Amino acid sequence: MKITRTFVLSGVALLALSGCSSATPQPEPSPSSSKISYADGLHAKVLSVETANTITVDVDGRTKEVRLLNVVAPTEHNNEFSGSCLVPESTDFLKQKLPEGTEVTLDFDDSRVGSSGYLEAAVYVGDDLINADVVREGFATTTFLSQRDEHYAPVSEAQQEAAREGRGIYSKDVECSLPHAIQLHLDRVHRADDSQNEEERIGLYKSASNFYNTLMSEAKSPDTWVGSIVTLDAVKDQLKELKNALGKNYYDVQGKSEREKQSEANEPIRPGS
């Protein structure tokens, strides 16, 4: 999606001149003493890529670490579903998009610095929004700070595209992805249906039910923001398929199956009970 923007040249504040004679020559402001104006259209040069959502850039001779606005990258220490999936692959992808020396333009949201403490920006190469590119390939997901986030919409749309096309962390073929985990339990349920071993069958049903219950407890309202919760909105149809496959063999959080609850409801009341 091509985004048309108006570039605003960033200014550099001059050093204040005070207490000096007009005849005294004044030194030129150095990069270290001048202040960066964080306005849309700020030009920078890529020095390195740290993760799928963090880069180091040079701005007028100063080194700044920038986090891609509205983008959440997988990390080795993320315990959320799919949160530690494709970490090196996602970083390599961004390195290919932004090799050292690439000229980029930075746009900012009103908040500019997010809760992480990083300088957060929409990173452009020409009219190409890099934030959306990483998410579109399924190498990262989107997040937001408020309803007024300026760049959330295109990044969220990119995530929905990745989910529809089954790319990256939305692929059933990627072992660390959530869709792969759901499919694995779905296959186990089908295998349980064909099993003659009652103990094995019940174990598979309970395992799939516990997985489903845990997943749903992790996301109280996955549909509140389209694409805002890592992969859950994208796999809601797949989760529904798993629940339907379990049918009466679904076990609730109390460990009771639908079949058991139905049996108890149909049990006749005995005299004196």
Q: Which residues pair with 83 in a beta bridge?
A: none
Lowest mean pLDDT among 19-33, 75-89, 152-166, 258-272: 19-33
Predicted local confidence at residue 34, as pLDDT: 60
Tokens 């992480």, residue located: 116
| Residue 25 pLDDT exceeds 60 | no
Average pLDDT, the chain: 80
pLDDT-derived band at 258 (thresholds 50, 70, 90) equals confident
CA distance 108 to 3: 15
Domain extents for the chain?
A: 42-164, 178-260
| Residue 1 pLDDT exceeds 50 | no
Q: pLDDT per residue over 117-156, tens digit each?
A: 678 999 999 999 999 999 999 999 888 776 678 888 899 8
Instruction: Tell me which CATH code domain 42-164 carries.
Output: 2.40.50.90
DSSP secondary structure of 25-42: PPPPPPTTTS-B---TTE
Q: Please report which helix (H) or strand (E) contains residue 51, including its range.
A: strand 42-51
Highest mean pLDDT among 25-34, 218-227, 251-260: 251-260
Predicted local confidence at residue 227, as pLDDT: 44
CA distance 133 to 224: 24
